[in-house]
Amino acid sequence: MFSGAFRERVRNSWVEMRENPARAGLQALGVIVGVAAVLGGFSISDSQRRRADELFVRLGGLDKLNVQPNPVVNDGRPSALQTANLGLRRQDSEDGQDLDAKLVAGASVVKSARTRVRSPYADQERQVSGIGGSYLATEGYEVAHGRAFSAEDVGNGSPVAILGTEAESVFFPHGDAIGSTLRVGDVPVRVVGVFEERVFRFRKSQGNRFAWRNRIIAVPATLVTRRFEGDAYQRLDRVTFKMRNVDAISAFSKELSGLLKANHRQQEDFRLDDVNARMKKRRSQGDVYNIIFWLSGILSILGGGIVNVNIQMASLKERVREVGVKMAIGAPGKEIFKEMMTEALLVSGLGATVGLIAGIGFSKIITGAIGIPLYMDPKSFLFAFVLASAFGFLFALYPAFKAARLSPMEALRYE
Amino acid sequence: MKPIIETRDLTKTFGSNGVAVRALRGIDLTVDRGEFLALIGPSGSGKSTLMAILGCLDKPTSGSYAFDGERVDGLSNAELARIRNDKIGFVFQMYNLLPKASVLRNVELPMLYAGVRRKERRRRATELLERVGIPEKAKSLPSALSGGQRQRVAVARALANQPAMLLADEPTGALDSKTGHEVLELFSELHRQGNTILIVTHDLSIAALASRQVEIHDGRVAEASQVA
């Protein structure tokens, strides 16, 4: 196929294209606009989606399964089993981890309390998060200064705390938090660390979506359950299992469901929340936009194709005479057909390339204006390019076929 | 040696349903190699139709036509294209050059379809432009040339594949008498060099330059005369 004759034909088409710049330019215009629209549309929606994915990842990853209490609605007197049920507690998190060590990388637990928090500088009613297990890793927190909780801290319920940057600036505005004492409820708690500030803006102009995470006042979960609440059963607000493999979540959640039901006296007083599934759902909602972009891209290429056909019609007289001359000097119909198709492919190929460049510029401008980083999927490039070339090819077929079937005399005398 | 053109009872009928126009009503014509033949006749006589068939641009309705010893009346369009490319050089009244292509590329074009390599094409086209006396116009567009120069380009293009016959249809029809005369001089020169030339015209003074005239009238050969 890439014989000398083919190269010769491409070279000839290139020359003819340059001899007729207006015709070629107008033909390419439809393709350029179409490709730019498809690529731009895809890239903008991909960038938006990529940003949303990033949010999930920054929240500690997608490979998580949350378990939260979901109290059974009581009408009238609770049954004996309901009374005997202890709810979501620390034991559940341990049993869950033991269920399948190959699948579960770790588990974090949270027990929060709302209480009065005091320092020499501030006195506020605050949410205090009692944390345990691999909470920091699971939720994406990092300690900036000081240290994390030791196993001993969590085991004994030591009166220690780690603050988010906002909490730090409220309670210890002079930066002397570490080593200082914070009164949480009636308990004096020593600050041992400060978390890294968490910032995530969906768009540049928007506020920090992670602002709430900087408000955290973290203490060992055991401190909350024992000292604040006096709860010997160590009931929890949430258990999060970190999985080794995202695909294992659904299988694991079935097993876990059975286990929890057995632990909870056959009560389904818990709710499983698969983070990955939640994100997938969000993504599938984004697919609607993709379909719209597809359609608009295809429509603009179609429009370009129709413009193309019109241009071919407008230049028909000139073209037919040209075909007549070529036939008279010995070009067979097949050669005329190949010539026109090569030219069309060349024009749509070049148009598509220019369209890709225009599409990149277009996407850059739009994502820059809404303030999200640009992400372009190589697949969008390929798709836009193939689509445009295919349409260029299809719309060239009919005129080329017609031209090839002309008789030389008809073509020479065409007026 | 076989004649270059030999037709027997050639007819051509246009139109199918109802109104049939019989443009050619049985042409017997023989043209020998090396001849300079003028095909004359008033407009509507059928000489243009005959020219198209002799030039393998059209097919006869009936009758036989042998060109260069080969029967061509039953050939396919692609085969006719090959013969036109290989063996016939056309010169038209309105030049019929590609308007956007350079003079050089216009002359190269028949060789492109013959599959001649690029360098060889360029070399031969340059040579041909020298032969017709306008080597300096190689890079110009046809629109920048005078009518006479354009017709010289057309002659150069017609000679590109060293055809067995040159077929000229009113080659001076669009030219003033002086340039027309110069172009005819070129044909005479080519004839002296051994080329077979068939010229279609309604102008008897042009026909007088040919070695033989054949008059077409109402789709038939009316008279054939031999000039010494």
What pLDDT sits at residue B225?
A: 57
Name the pLDDT band for A173 (thresholds 50, 70, 90). very high
Domain assignment of residue A66, yes or no: no
Looking at the fold, whether A105 and A230 belong to one and the same domain comes out as: yes
Backbone phi, psi, residue A83, to 5°: -65, -35
Domain assignment of residue A213, yes or no: yes
Quote the number of domains for chain B. Answer: 1
CB within 8 Å: A412 and B96: yes
Looking at the fold, whether A83 and A204 belong to one and the same domain comes out as: yes
Q: Which two tokens stand for residue A131?
A: 């944390």
Looking at the fold, whether A142 and A264 belong to one and the same domain comes out as: yes
Cα Dmax for chain B? 55
> What type of residue sits at position A95?
D
Domain assignment of residue A63, yes or no: no
A vs B, Cβ pairs < 8 A, gives: 75
Last-in-domain residue among A268, A300, A318: A268
- Own/partner long-range contacts of A199-207 (Cβ < 8 Å, ≥24 apart): A200/A54, A200/A55, A200/A58, A201/A371, A202/A51, A202/A52, A202/A55, A202/A372, A203/A370, A203/A371, A203/A372, A204/A371, A204/A372, A205/A371, A206/A371
Contact assessment for residue A272 and residue A257, using Cβ atoms and an 8 Å cutoff: yes
Q: What is the CATH number of the domain that holds B123?
A: 3.40.50.300
- pLDDT per residue as tens digits for the range A392-403: 788 888 888 888
Q: Is it the case that residue A226 has pLDDT exceeding 50?
A: yes
State percent of chain A over pLDDT 70.
98
Looking at the fold, whether A11 and A123 belong to one and the same domain comes out as: no
Looking at the fold, whether A226 and A187 belong to one and the same domain comes out as: yes
Name the pLDDT band for B223 (thresholds 50, 70, 90). low
Domain assignment of residue A148, yes or no: yes
Looking at the fold, whether A234 and A343 belong to one and the same domain comes out as: no
Looking at the fold, whether A22 and A133 belong to one and the same domain comes out as: no
Which residue of chain A has the CA closest to B119? A8
Please indicate if any CB of chain A lies within 8 Å of the CB of B58: yes
Element (DSSP H or E) covering residue B67? strand B62-67
For the CA atoms of A340, A344, A346, A351, the dihedral, rounded to the nearest 10 degrees, stands at 160
Tokens 């057995």 identify what position? A262
Last-in-domain residue among A207, A233, A268: A268
Q: How far is B58 from chain A (nearest CA, A)?
A: 7
Give dist(CA A175, CA A186) in Å, integer. Answer: 24
Backbone phi, psi, residue A211, to 5°: -55, -40
> DSSP label at B137?
G
The residue range of the domain holding B191 is 5-226
CB proximity under 8 Å: B 157-186 to A: 157, 161
Mean pLDDT of B165-187: 90
CB proximity under 8 Å: B 65-84 to A: 77-78, 81-82, 84
Give dist(CA A357, CA A377) in Å, integer. Answer: 14
> What type of residue sits at position B57?
L
Last-in-domain residue among A238, A268, A298: A268
- pLDDT per residue as tens digits for the range A64-99: 888 888 877 667 777 777 777 778 888 888 888 888
User: Are β-strands B36-40 and A123-133 bridged in parallel, bridged antiparallel, or unpaired?
Assistant: unpaired
CB within 8 Å: A19 and B82: no
Looking at the fold, whether A165 and A287 belong to one and the same domain comes out as: no
CB within 8 Å: A321 and B101: no
Looking at the fold, whether A173 and A304 belong to one and the same domain comes out as: no
CB within 8 Å: B113 and A326: yes
Q: Which of B52, B77, B113 sits opposite A329 (nearest CB)?
A: B113
Looking at the fold, whether A34 and A85 belong to one and the same domain comes out as: no
Name the pLDDT band for A3 (thresholds 50, 70, 90). low
Backbone phi, psi, residue A363, to 5°: -65, -40
CB within 8 Å: B78 and A8: no
Give dist(CA A338, CA A404) in Å, integer. Answer: 9
Chain B contact probe: residue of A14, A329, A335, A412 with most B CBs at under 10 A: A329
Looking at the fold, whether A106 and A229 belong to one and the same domain comes out as: yes
Q: Is it the case that residue A126 has pLDDT exceeding 60?
A: yes
Chain A contact probe: residue of B86, B98, B108, B121 with most A CBs at under 10 A: B98
Q: How far is A5 from chain B (nearest CA, A)?
A: 8
Contact assessment for residue A48 and residue A296, using Cβ atoms and an 8 Å cutoff: no
The residue range of the domain holding A202 is 71-268
Please indicate if any CB of chain A lies within 8 Å of the CB of B48: no
The contact set of A with B (CB < 8 A) is: 4-5, 8, 11-12, 15-16, 19-20, 318, 321-322, 324-335, 407-409, 412
Quote the number of domains for chain A. Answer: 2
A166-175, A323-332, B14-23: least confident range: B14-23
CA pseudo-torsion sign A284, A289, A293, A296: positive
Q: Which of B52, B78, B157 sits opposite A329 (nearest CB)?
A: B157
What pLDDT sits at residue A411?
A: 87
CB within 8 Å: A328 and B90: yes
Which residue of chain A has the CA closest to B51? A409
Looking at the fold, whether A104 and A236 belong to one and the same domain comes out as: yes
pTM: 0.72
Backbone phi, psi, residue B165, to 5°: -150, 140
- pLDDT per residue as tens digits for the range B121-157: 999 999 999 999 999 999 999 999 999 999 999 999 9
Contact assessment for residue A281 and residue A77, using Cβ atoms and an 8 Å cutoff: no
Contact assessment for residue A161 and residue A219, using Cβ atoms and an 8 Å cutoff: yes
